[in-house]
Amino acid sequence: MRHILVASTIVAAFVCHATAKPSPLDQDFSYTHQLLSANEEQEQNINQANHVPMLSWDDAYVKARALVQAMSIEQKVNITTGLGWTVGPCVGNSGRTTGPDFPELCLQDSPLGARYADGVSSGVAGINAAASFDKEAIRRRGEYMGSEFRAKGINAQLGPSMNMMRAPQGGRNWEAFGEDPYLVGVAAVETIRGIQSQGVMAVAKHLIGNEQETNRQLHSVHIDEKTMHEVYLWPFARSVEADVASIMCSYNKINGVYACESDYAINHLLKGQLGFRGFVQSDWSATHSTEDSANGGLDMTMPGDITFNSGDSYFGKNLTRAVKAGTVHEDRVTDMATRIVAAWYKLGQDQGFPQPNFDSFRPERGLHLDVQGDHKREIRQLGAASTVLLKNNDNILPLSSSQTRTLSIIGADAGPNPKGLNCEDHGCNDGSLAQGWGSGTANYPYLITPLEGIKHRAGNRMTITELLSDTDIATAKKLASEADIALVFVNANSGEEFITVEGHKGDRNHLNIWHDGDKLIEAVAEANNNTIVVVHSVGPVLMPWLNHPHIKAVVWPGLPGQESGNSLADVLFGDVNPSARLPYTIAQKLQDYPAKISNDMSFHYTEGVHVGYRWFDKQSIDPLFEFGYGLSYTRFEYVDPRVVVVHGDSQDPNVEVAANIMIRNVGQFDGAEIPQVYLSFPSIAEQPPQVLRGFEKVFVAKGSQAPAVFTLKKTDLSYFDTNTHKWVVPKGEFVLHIGSSSRNIKHSLSFTLN
């Protein structure tokens, strides 16, 4: 989503009641939003977070059809048309009707927290949620976000983001869940279920092919049928199965047609093959037509105006005229309205849903209600659970105050932003990095820096020296040489294309660490034999210093959000045993990756289904760190693997394969292991060498063992057959691989389906 920057200054709270006024876009609908007064009933709504029972789609449609049947053409058009950029309190506000009554809906960024609002949490990024490989934790993240969005009066959270990390330099990779469609699908499902358990609509985005920021509003991506289904559509299919309320179409063209008017993507794939029953909304200003968009399947245009503050809309009166002229059938507009109303009913939003109590563009009008609750605990836990330990030579970690007396902390990334807590949409890279930039952000209520977190945890048991500079190499060497252990902090940032940060217009220009961080790392390592490198990054970086003999450990916290320093300290000092895994491949060099950022206006995804680790496996390329990789402070053994074909007929819709393995903790610490299941298909399926088809997070006390159980059903055992244009379970021999990463396979077992 592309938004202009707005002031984020918090001013004294007071309530400003807006008078009813017509939208500048279309007199057919009116803007009647009024901010609520602070009363006891409102406070009760804000502080209540419940699991809201959802209606079935069938029941929601019964109610929706009854309401929409009573609407005029103009009224149906109203609720499909946004009010316009900055007209309402939210980044998107849909039109309303009276007689019959249907309210304006508030649609608000972002996938990690409520953007343009105060009193909200700013938690771990999507890429960190995926790195946890923890389904339960990802679900809880969705729940707390949903509760905050509801408490702010937001009907729809514009997330999760589900685009694939196809090219490692992609600017918004960090908003989503990595390079593997199975992992992305699981993370999307758990996030959606968590958000919607609070009665808030989740919005899965972006359909489809929005894997880079460069020329995103102009270029056309060409994706072959097999790749479309097995990679890029896969997470959306799982989201539909999870009853996602809305899906956002992307800026780019798909096979030559704008995504938001793509009959193929929306009508054929999404609503046809997948049976999606919610509504499709445009990305902000991604609508390019009236008739083509409506007939192509778009149900709601956002924020409503053709371009921001243009005063006209492709929908609104233009859509009404198209219906009356017969170029758009009224049944299509009825369907558009019914889908929106049905989603509203399905989430129970007709049952006393709060009105917006904040204003994105006029913050002085908001009530400034604090809806964070104790969510900082959840954020801190997930921050630690998503911190990947990449290297730990000589067991230098966890830190011990009895063995380490002096600690040196070096690098600007360890400290606060000298320009203030929040720059606009985080469009800067000063101080410690805890999320990328753009519309996928939320302002920090506070940010615990690594320096603060480490100092607090160490207390008076260690002497800590610090240098919050990336360029003072001489002082860095001096401090490092005087310490028992030196921690050097570096980062790499990216974001959305409407902000350029240090020459990076969304996408990264390279995979180097920013601010000449390699030079800082090497200088510290020359001066200290026990150097630990901490990398806050949006995605893979190059590591020419990795094998330096003095670099004993590499810690990868990613983008951990507001509790960054506390989460990191929990891992560094062993309060939390690291268990996170890389949701992407870190290559030895940029050229090893199958895809790069393209400057072409039309280009093909030539790597096909071989995205990420699949490409490295196919080409027999050794990565620096493979997908699914992550170390622990303890050691695990994988014993007694078994695979059982429960239903072995490939034509049986109930075909099922069960696998299990025992995980033994043979180390010195309690900890969690994340066994992963990869599947090799019969050759007829034309699949990559192996594809992820399962993972579980298993806690095992030291000296104990626990089982990991996996069930593979029809979806997991299928490939997309381009001859029949259907998903097919092939006959023949499969091989199931169980391991701790894509390259560390412990056991391989074969089974046959008839």
Cβ atoms 527, 533 nearer than 8 A: no
Place of tokens 């966890």: 398
Cβ atoms 579, 672 nearer than 8 A: yes
d(CA 34, CA 31): 9
Place of tokens 């071989």: 610
Establish whether 283 is a catalytic residue. yes
Cβ atoms 113, 351 nearer than 8 A: no
Residue of 283, 292, 299, 335 with catalytic role: 283
CB atoms within 10 A of CB 721: 17
**Three-state secondary structure readout of 445-499:** CCCCCHHHHHHHHHCCCCEEEEECCCCCHHHHHHHHHCCCEEEEEEEECCECCCC
Cβ atoms 635, 666 nearer than 8 A: yes
CB atoms within 10 A of CB 53: 10
d(CA 211, CA 168): 10
CB atoms within 10 A of CB 516: 13
- Residue 137's H or E segment, with its range, is helix 135-151
Amino acid letter, 378: E
d(CA 52, CA 42): 18
Q: Which two tokens stand for residue 78?
A: 């109203």
* Terminal Cα-to-Cα distance of the chain (whole angstroms): 47
Q: Phi first, then psi: what are they for 340, rounded to 5°? A: -65, -45
Q: Which two tokens stand for residue 312?
A: 């006209």
Nearest to 247 by CA among 217, 278, 219: 278
Nearest to 689 by CA among 624, 632, 753, 737: 737
Cβ atoms 381, 137 nearer than 8 A: yes
- Which residues lie closer than 8 Å to 676 by C-beta, 6 or more apart? 133, 581, 628, 692, 694, 695, 738, 739, 740, 741, 742
Cβ atoms 170, 213 nearer than 8 A: yes
Facing residues of 388 across strands? 556
Q: Which two tokens stand for residue 505?
A: 């217009």
Give one word for 97, left, alpha or beta, with left for phi > 0 and alpha for psi -120 to 50: beta
Which alpha helices (DSSP H) does 197-326 contain, by range? 225-227, 234-241, 291-296, 316-325
- Give exposure, 308-329, as e/b (b: 16+ Cβ within 10 Å): eeeeebbbbbbbbebbeeeebe
Nearest to 516 by CA among 495, 497, 488: 488
Cβ atoms 2, 285 nearer than 8 A: yes
Amino acid letter, 496: E
Q: Which two tokens stand for residue 147?
A: 């509760």
Cβ atoms 227, 608 nearer than 8 A: yes
Q: In what order do the strands lie in the sheet with 257-258?
A: 257-258, 253-254, 220-222, 602-604
Nearest to 634 by CA among 665, 658, 656: 665
d(CA 642, CA 331): 54
Catalytic residues: 283
